[in-house]
Amino acid sequence: MAEVGTEYDLVVVGAGINGAGIARDAALRGLSVLLLEKNDIGSGTSSWSSRLIHGGLRYLEYGELPLVFESLRERRLLRKVAPHLVKRLRLKIPVYKDSRRSLLLIRLGLITYDLLSIGKSIPRHRMLSRKQFLEQEPGVLSEGLVGGASYFDAQVTYAERLVLENAIGAREAGADVRTYSPVIGITVRKGEVCNVQFIDRASQSEIEVRARMVVNAAGPWVDQVLATVNRTMPTLMGGTKGSHIIVSPFAGAPHDAFYVEAAADGRPFFIIPWNGQYLIGTTDLRYDGDPGDASASKEEARYLIAETNRVFPRAGLTLDSINYTYAGVRPLPQRPTGPESAITRRHIIKKHGRQARGLVSVVGGKLTTYRNLAEQVVDFVVRVEKADSEKCITRTRALPGGHSLEEARRRLNELPALSAAGRDRLISIYGGRASRLVDLARSRADLQAVLDSNRSVLAAEVAFAVREEMAVTLVDIVHRRLMIGLGADQGEPLAKAIAELAATELHWDSADTRRELSLLKSYNERLKPVFLKAQS
């Protein structure tokens, strides 16, 4: 544990995708780094996206060609450095007689998309006739259909794991990573940032460290972090809420992901096969409340259900069909007027030179472009500090689980209790790090047991989450390590068994265990807003 007065080259506030990516890049370049997060790694906006690694076809409508180019390049790089997490995804766009975007416009957009995908390793788009479209997707609305298109992007099923692997990579490179350690003060003296105060999770005491530079990467909480500075700071954020609903496979459901134009307002949204279910979203509404309180409204859920039922007439979805929902606040810049969809998704690196030299805030950005954002931020840090550091290597350096996948798959055969589906699941979550999971399981017979009837969840995963992946709570373990909290049953059938294993690792007594189970239940219920509970 850092003592009072420890000095870091860089303190990063916020362990979402941007903060974790910045911390990893900086640590890999040899800087001393402290990463602070008030909750768990990836527990904020990074967990609540549409889980796509994509160029942003819609951004072409707003002339943001540089953003699309950057995004498509980053998509290619992420597929190489995190092949276990980022997978190719085919999407289809149906076009109807009354669609605002014609077949010609869609074709022109996809041609541009392909041209901007320099060096891509996925197929080009294809235009589909009405007959071809219906042959491939017989469940889609046929009335008024004039044709459509098929193209490829990428999906990160478990965005939480992408964030976590960046944080793990930062720690492996020497960064000090502290979760549940909120920042309570940033001190500026003579116009220059010098100290950061935070509450340490382990000791629950206030700790102050010296910081040569501070990067505020707190996502939609950027303004709250700025409020801890002992100077008057500007207001930067103007986020919008995006909500999703998750349903089980339905009648006529598509084979591929769909990118659909809503009839109600012309806004595009996605219907995506995901985690054995369908992820439907997103909405885009201005939001000025606490980002931690954001949840899907009944109106948003009805909107997404109605539009899905329109495009897939046999679906018959109702509010009762929803397994759970989630909503997040995009960390966008303030734009009080104009359509929400027109607010740029480009990131802004705000340097607070007038008020606090050495303090930088990150506004905006996308899951897809986090790596490039991190490279730009750390380049700036190195220039300002005149640091003798290594060059950025994250373009080619695999994430911790992004290599030795075949070796890990072979090693999983050493655990006979696992099913073939279980081995696939572990590779999709841990990648090459599954070999370390095998080593842990083989150290104790009880850790080789499976917890579920499908023989896919391993007891050793709980110990691994605590010992290797910085999990502190039962919610951390279920929702952001083992990922079973994202299933249709939210992992509830395994909660008690996992809690008992976690109690051993984290030294919980019976009261602690009951409290953790209660907190998990409350967390799961929060993903089921009041309007869903009223249906049951």
pLDDT tens-digit readout, 71-93: 999 999 999 999 999 999 999 99
Q: Is the pLDDT of residue 59 over 60?
A: yes
Weakest-pLDDT range from 369-373, 446-450, 512-516, 530-534: 530-534
Mean pLDDT, residues 180-191 taken together: 97
Domain boundaries, the chain: 7-45+160-235+345-385, 61-154, 240-330, 405-531
386-438 pLDDT, tens digit per residue, is: 777 789 999 999 999 999 999 999 999 999 999 999 999 999 999 999 999 99
Which residue in the block uniquely carries the two structure tokens 């180019």?
A: 69
Report the C-alpha gap between 485 and 491 in whole angstroms: 5
| pLDDT value, residue 104 | 93
* Confidence band of 3 (pLDDT split at 50, 70, 90): low
Give 8's strand partners.
211
Cα 29 off chain centre by: 24
Cα 528 off chain centre by: 20
Say if strands 86-96 and 359-363 run parallel, antiparallel, or are unpaired.
unpaired
| pLDDT value, residue 535 | 58
Report the C-alpha gap between 396 and 516 in whole angstroms: 40
Element (H, E) at 223: helix 222-226
Q: What is the DSSP letter of 343?
A: S
Token pair belonging to 195: 């100290």
Closest CA relative to residue 40, chosen from 462, 467, 471: 471
39-49 pLDDT, tens digit per residue, is: 999 999 999 99
Report the C-alpha gap between 71 and 55 in whole angstroms: 5
- Topology annotation, domain 7-45+160-235+345-385: FAD/NAD(P)-binding domain (3.50.50)
Q: Is the pLDDT of residue 344 over 70?
A: no
Q: Which CATH number fits domain 405-531: 3.30.930.10, 1.10.3720.10, 1.10.8.870, 1.20.120.1200?
A: 1.10.8.870
pTM, two decimals, is 0.95
**3-class SS at 11?**
strand
Weakest-pLDDT range from 77-81, 237-241, 448-452, 453-457: 237-241
What percent of the chain has a predicted confidence (pLDDT) above 70?
96
* Confidence band of 62 (pLDDT split at 50, 70, 90): confident
* Confidence band of 447 (pLDDT split at 50, 70, 90): very high
Give domain 240-330's CATH architecture: 2-Layer Sandwich (3.30)
461-486 pLDDT, tens digit per residue, is: 999 999 999 999 999 999 999 999 99
* Confidence band of 260 (pLDDT split at 50, 70, 90): very high
Closest CA relative to residue 71, chosen from 344, 346, 399, 380: 346
Report the C-alpha gap between 182 and 38 in whole angstroms: 4
Q: 153 near 74, Cβ under 8 Å?
A: no
Q: Is the pLDDT of residue 262 over 60?
A: yes
199-258 pLDDT, tens digit per residue, is: 999 888 999 999 999 999 999 999 999 999 999 999 999 889 999 999 999 999 999 999
Which residue in the block uniquely carries the two structure tokens 């679906």?
A: 315
- DSSP states of 100-157: SS-HHHHHHHHHHHHHH-TT--SPPPEEEEHHHHHHH-TTS--TTEEEEEEEEEEEET
Q: What is the DSSP letter of 25?
A: H
Q: Is the pLDDT of residue 1 over 50?
A: no
- Matching fold, domains 240-330 and 405-531: no
Cα 204 off chain centre by: 28
263-277 pLDDT, tens digit per residue, is: 998 889 999 999 999
